[in-house]
C-alpha cells in the first residue's frame, strides 16, 4: 500500500515540476508571458460605423447585433479573452465600439474590420495578348467565361505565363464594362500603364461546381467553423487548415479534379491570399492555405471560424464609405504595472500568512497542506498561461480568493482528523475517517460556489456583457475545481504515505 502512495506522490511532483518548467518558458505558442486585460496592459480601441445599403429597413438593429456576435467570436477564437464590445446607438446610426487588450491597431483592424468573404477562383485557359491598342481607355480582354462578373466588380488580373505568375504580380482592378455575348471585359485603363505590349494576361474567374444539377460557386459559406493554424512539416511554415461541409466537399473534389497541374486561387474580400497549384484531386473536403505569417494565419483562422460579417464596417465621409474605422486609439492601462506589482505582493503576503497559520496550528498536516497549496498555485498559473486566461484585476482577486478556499478544504479535513485521534483511533484510521466525513461538506460547499460562478458568468455574458464579471467567475470556477483535486489527491496521498514512516509514531505532530 505504501509503495502505491509513493508512486502517486512521485507522479504529482512530476506534474508540479512540469508546471514550473512551463511557467519558466517565456514564449509559448507565440505568446509572451501571461495574457493581461485592458486594465493592466492596455490595448486598442476601435469604433466602426456600418454600411446598411444591403439591409432591409427595420432590420438594422438585428444586423448590428449579429455583427457584434461575430466580432466577439473572432476575437475569442484568436486567443484573446475579455474584449469589450458594445453597440452605440440604434438603427442607421448604430456604431460598434471594440476594445481589445494586448494587440496593436493593425492587428485589431485586420481581426475586426474585414468582412472575410472567402471564395475560390481559377484562371481562364487562354489569356489575351496585350497589343499597342490595349493601352487605349477602352482596352478590352477576351476571356473564356464572363459568368459571375458585373460592372464595377473587381477583377484579379495577372501578367506573365499562366500558372507561373507570382502572387505579388496579380492585380485587382475594376471592371468598367462587360459584353456577355462575346465574353469581353472592359477593365480599368489604369491596369495597363505599367505593362508592355505582347505580355500574356490571365484573368481569375469563379470556380464553379455542380451539386444536384445546380451550378454553385465554391465560397466560404460551405466552410465548417473548425479551421486552425498548423505547421507544414516539410517547410516549417504556418498554414491554415480548413474543412468544407458536405456540399463544399463535393464542389472542392470536382474543382480540384479538373485543375490538376493548375493554380486554385483563394481570395479573401477580393484579395488573393494564396494560389497553390493543385497536385491531385482532393476528396474529403479538407485543405490548407499557405503563404502566411503566423499572425496572418491566426487572424485568418479566427475570421473563418467566426464567419463573414453581414455588414461592411468602416466610416462615412461626405457620403462615401471607407473601410477604415471611424476611431482608432491606443488604450492605456487603467491600473498598469504598479497596480499589478502591488497585487502580486499582496497575493504573496497573503499566501505566506496562510501557510504560517497552517503550519503553526496544524503542524505536520499543515506543512503538507502548504505543499499542496504551492502545487495548486503552480497548476493554476500554468492554466492561466497555457489556455490562456486573461488576467484582469478581477481575475487576480478571484485567484487570491480561491487560495483561501483551497485551504478551507484542508481545515475541514484536519479538524475531523483531530476529533478522531482524540476519540482513540489510530492515525491511519483517523486520516481515512477525517477525509470521508469531511468530504460531504467540502463537496457541497464547492458545488454551491460553482453554481454561483455559473450564474455570474451567465449574467456577465447574457445580461450586462461585462467581461470583468465573466473573468472573475471563470477564474474562481477553475480555482474551485483545482483546489478540490489538490486537497483530496495531494494532501490525502501525502498523509497516507506518512502513515508508513517513523513520523506516524509522533502523534503530537498531528494535533495541537
Give the model confidence (pLDDT) of 273-295 as tens digits: 888 888 888 888 888 888 888 87
Instruction: Indicate if 163 and 133 belong to the same structural domain.
Output: yes
Are the C-beta atoms of residues 102 and 41 closer than 8 Å to each other? Answer: yes
Task: Compute the distance between CA of residue 333 and CA of residue 467 in angstroms, rounded to an integer.
Answer: 16
Q: Which CATH number fits the domain that encloses residue 423? A: 1.20.1640.10
pLDDT tens per residue across span 454-494: 888 887 766 555 667 777 888 888 888 888 888 778 888 88
Reported as a pLDDT band with limits 50, 70 and 90, residue 163 is very low
Instruction: Indicate if 357 and 419 belong to the same structural domain.
Output: yes
| Residue where a domain stops, chosen among 290, 306, 322 | 306
Instruction: Indicate if 106 and 205 belong to the same structural domain.
Output: no
List residues bridging with 189 in a β-sheet. none
Task: Compute the distance between CA of residue 35 and CA of residue 32 in angstroms, rounded to an integer.
Answer: 8
Instruction: Indicate if 275 and 143 belong to the same structural domain.
Output: yes
Task: Compute the distance between CA of residue 331 and CA of residue 44 in angstroms, rounded to an integer.
Answer: 5
Are the C-beta atoms of residues 407 and 354 closer than 8 Å to each other? Answer: yes
pLDDT tens per residue across span 82-95: 677 888 888 888 89
Q: Would you give the DSSP letter of residue 263?
A: B
Reported as a pLDDT band with limits 50, 70 and 90, residue 161 is very low
Instruction: Indicate if 141 and 171 belong to the same structural domain.
Output: yes
Instruction: Indicate if 325 and 460 belong to the same structural domain.
Output: no
**DSSP of 50-103:** E--TTSPTT-HHHHHHHHHHHHHHHHHHHT----EEEEES-GGG-EEEEEEET-
Instruction: Indicate if 93 and 6 belong to the same structural domain.
Output: no
Task: Compute the distance between CA of residue 354 and CA of residue 363 in angstroms, rounded to an integer.
Answer: 13
How many CB atoms within 10 Å of residue 219? 18
Q: Would you give the DSSP letter of residue 333?
A: P
Task: Compute the distance between CA of residue 235 and CA of residue 386 in angstroms, rounded to an integer.
Answer: 26
Q: Is the pLDDT confidence value at 157 over 80?
A: no
For residue 433, the surrounding DSSP H or E stretch is helix 427-458
3-class SS at 450?
A: helix
Instruction: Indicate if 170 and 272 belong to the same structural domain.
Output: yes
Reported as a pLDDT band with limits 50, 70 and 90, residue 162 is very low
Query: pLDDT at position 37, please?
Result: 72
Range of the domain at 172: 118-306
pLDDT tens per residue across span 195-235: 555 555 667 778 888 998 888 989 888 988 888 888 888 88
Instruction: Indicate if 96 and 154 belong to the same structural domain.
Output: no
Query: pLDDT at position 252, please?
Result: 92
Query: pLDDT at position 137, please?
Result: 46
Instruction: Indicate if 180 and 241 belong to the same structural domain.
Output: yes
pLDDT tens per residue across span 391-445: 777 888 888 888 877 788 888 888 888 888 888 888 888 888 888 888 888 888 8
User: Total domain count for the chain?
Assistant: 3
Q: Which residue has the higher pLDDT, 1 or 498?
A: 498
Instruction: Indicate if 327 and 440 belong to the same structural domain.
Output: no
Reported as a pLDDT band with limits 50, 70 and 90, residue 154 is low
3-class SS at 399?
A: helix
Query: pLDDT at position 306, please?
Result: 76
Q: Which CATH number fits the domain that encloses residue 85? A: 3.30.70.3400
Are the C-beta atoms of residues 74 and 107 closer than 8 Å to each other? Answer: no
Q: Which residues of 375-399 are buried (b: 16+ CB within 10 A; e: fewer)?
A: bbbbbbbbbbbeebbbbbbbbbbbb
Instruction: Indicate if 389 and 455 belong to the same structural domain.
Output: yes
Task: Compute the distance between CA of residue 384 and CA of residue 313 in angstroms, rounded to an integer.
Answer: 33
pLDDT tens per residue across span 233-266: 888 888 889 999 999 999 999 999 988 888 888 8
Angle ∠(155,294,302) on CA atoms, nearest 5: 70
Query: pLDDT at position 254, please?
Result: 93
Are the C-beta atoms of residues 241 and 230 closer than 8 Å to each other? Answer: yes
pLDDT tens per residue across span 323-344: 888 888 877 666 656 666 777 7
Query: pLDDT at position 59, please?
Result: 85
- pTM of the complete model beyond 0.75: no
The closest of 369, 389, 370 to 380, measured between CA atoms, is 389
Q: How far apart are the first and last CA of the chain?
A: 28
pLDDT tens per residue across span 32-65: 667 777 777 778 888 999 888 888 888 888 888 8
Q: Tell me the three cell numbers of residue 360.
A: 503553526
pLDDT tens per residue across span 100-150: 887 778 888 888 877 778 888 887 654 454 544 454 445 556 555 666 666
Amino acid at each position: 500500500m505504501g509503495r502505491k502512495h509513493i508512486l502517486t506522490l512521485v507522479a504529482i511532483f512530476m506534474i508540479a515540476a512540469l508546471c514550473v518548467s512551463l511557467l519558466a518558458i517565456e514564449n509559448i505558442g507565440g505568446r509572451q508571458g501571461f495574457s493581461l486585460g485592458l486594465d493592466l496592459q492596455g490595448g486598442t480601441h476601435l469604433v466602426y460605423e456600418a454600411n446598411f445599403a444591403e439591409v432591409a429597413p427595420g432590420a438594422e438593429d438585428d444586423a448590428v447585433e449579429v455583427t457584434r456576435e461575430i466580432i466577439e467570436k473572432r476575437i475569442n477564437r484568436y486567443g484573446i479573452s475579455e474584449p469589450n464590445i458594445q453597440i452605440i446607438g440604434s438603427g442607421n446610426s448604430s456604431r460598434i465600439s471594440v476594445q481589445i487588450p494586448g494587440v496593436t491597431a493593425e492587428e485589431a483592424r485586420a481581426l475586426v474590420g474585414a468582412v472575410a468573404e472567402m471564395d475560390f477562383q481559377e484562371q481562364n485557359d487562354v489569356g489575351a495578348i496585350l497589343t499597342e491598342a490595349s493601352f487605349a481607355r477602352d482596352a478590352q480582354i477576351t476571356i473564356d467565361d464572363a459568368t459571375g462578373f458585373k460592372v464595377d466588380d473587381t477583377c484579379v488580373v495577372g501578367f506573365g505565363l499562366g500558372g507561373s505568375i507570382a502572387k505579388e504580380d496579380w492585380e485587382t482592378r475594376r471592371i468598367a464594362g462587360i459584353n456577355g455575348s462575346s465574353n469581353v471585359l472592359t477593365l480599368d485603363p489604369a491596369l495597363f500603364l505599367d505593362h508592355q505590349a505582347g505580355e500574356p494576361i490571365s484573368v481569375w474567374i469563379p470556380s464553379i461546381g455542380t451539386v444536384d444539377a445546380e451550378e454553385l460557386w465554391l465560397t466560404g459559406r460551405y466552410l465548417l467553423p473548425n479551421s486552425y493554424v498548423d505547421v507544414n512539416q516539410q517547410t516549417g511554415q504556418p498554414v491554415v487548415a480548413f474543412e468544407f461541409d458536405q456540399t463544399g466537399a463535393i464542389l472542392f473534389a470536382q474543382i480540384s479534379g479538373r485543375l490538376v497541374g493548375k493554380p486554385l486561387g483563394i481570395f479573401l474580400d477580393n484579395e488573393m491570399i494564396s494560389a497553390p497549384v493543385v497536385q491531385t484531386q482532393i476528396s474529403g473536403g479538407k485543405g490548407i492555405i499557405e503563404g502566411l505569417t503566423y499572425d496572418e494565419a491566426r487572424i485568418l483562422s479566427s475570421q473563418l471560424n467566426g464567419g463573414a460579417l453581414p455588414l461592411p464596417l468602416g466610416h462615412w465621409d461626405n457620403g462615401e464609405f471607407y473601410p477604415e474605422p471611424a476611431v482608432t486609439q491606443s488604450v492605456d492601462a487603467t491600473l498598469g504595472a504598479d497596480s499589478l506589482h502591488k497585487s502580486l505582493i499582496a497575493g504573496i503576503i497573503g499566501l505566506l500568512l496562510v501557510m504560517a497559520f497552517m503550519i503553526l496550528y496544524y503542524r505536520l498536516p499543515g506543512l503538507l497542506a502548504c505543499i499542496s497549496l504551492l502545487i495548486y498555485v503552480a497548476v493554476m498559473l500554468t492554466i492561466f498561461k497555457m489556455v490562456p486566461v486573461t488576467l484582469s484585476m478581477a481575475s487576480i482577486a478571484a485567484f487570491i480568493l480561491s487560495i483561501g478556499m483551497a485551504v478551507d478544504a484542508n481545515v475541514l479535513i484536519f479538524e475531523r482528523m483531530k476529533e478522531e485521534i482524540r476519540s482513540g483511533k489510530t492515525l491511519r484510521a483517523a486520516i481515512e475517517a477525517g477525509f470521508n466525513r469531511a468530504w460531504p461538506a467540502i463537496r457541497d460547499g464547492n458545488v454551491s460556489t460553482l453554481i454561483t460562478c455559473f450564474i455570474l458568468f451567465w449574467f456577465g455574458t447574457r445580461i450586462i456583457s461585462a467581461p470583468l464579471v465573466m473573468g472573475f467567475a471563470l477564474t474562481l470556477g477553475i480555482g474551485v475545481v483545482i483546489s478540490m483535486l489538490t486537497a483530496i489527491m495531494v494532501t490525502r496521498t501525502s498523509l497516507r504515505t506518512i502513515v508508513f514512516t517513523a513520523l506516524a509514531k509522533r502523534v503530537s505532530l498531528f494535533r495541537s
